[in-house]
Amino acid sequence: MTTLPSRAGTKGVPRAARERQVLAAATEEFGRHGYEATTMAAIATRVGVTKPLLHHYFGSKQDLYLACLNPVGDRLLDAIRTAMAAPDTGAPPTPLRVLNALFTTLDGQREAWFVLYDATLPPDSDAARRAASYRGAIDDLAAAGTADLLHAAGSGDPLDADALKYAWRGLCTALVRWWVNHPDQSPEAMTQRCARLFEAGRIILSTGDRST
């Protein structure tokens, strides 16, 4: 999680460095509080600049949100695609590879997940459409992955795959939310935890099958 001092200095900071400070602070603010509750004034105060300077650098609040969203969405998509590529022999199962990719990508800026999955974006805005585009691309990857898993398990029902896709999205969001509240947990520790939970779930379900 990125935490900036309340005053990062107001003079003598190169514009590129200042923009990076703003984007880090804005990503955390949008992720923590949502688009609707986040203000340009709050972001400016965190970075130690004036609100007019913030508007000069990034334009409107929506423009600043998009400047935060686009790199997050691009990084997540690239990471998921790489994780879903044909694995080497002995590699972890696809779900664990994808989760590890998510945790690794978000490490240091965990709230960024909630910039992408923000329910407070103004309907029919450029921000909402762009976020929906990223979410749709991630859902498409999830749909392909879940369909493959179900096919391997002997299920060909497309509604099973659709239901599992939504469950997977909810699981990822819940895990990231838990992770935000446990900053001491590394991406590797989170991946290992998920592996243990998956194995426990498998054992529980198989035990239930034998008892019926």
What does each C-alpha distance from 131 to 16, 22, 75 come to in angstroms?
25, 20, 14
Per-residue confidence (pLDDT) for residue 89, from 0 to 100: 73
- Summarize the confidence of residues 74-88 as an average pLDDT: 90
CB 174 within 8 A of CB 168: no
pLDDT band per the 50, 70, 90 thresholds, residue 18? very high
- 8 Å CB contact between 4 and 18: no
3-state DSSP helix/strand/coil percent for the chain, to nearest 5?
75, 0, 25
pLDDT confidence bin for 6, thresholds 50/70/90: very low
Task: Encode pLDDT of 89-129 as tens digits.
Answer: 778 888 999 999 999 999 999 999 999 999 999 999 999 99
9 pLDDT tier (thresholds 50, 70, 90) = very low
Mean pLDDT of 137-154: 85
Query: What tokens appear for 49 in the block?
Result: 């600049």
Type and span of the H or E element at 69? helix 61-84
The set of residues, in sequence order, having a beta carbon less than 8 Å from that of 95 and lying 6+ positions away, is: 145, 149, 168, 194, 198
Residue 3, pLDDT above cutoff 50: no
Residue 175 has pLDDT above 70, yes or no: yes
Structure tokens at 37: 């509750």
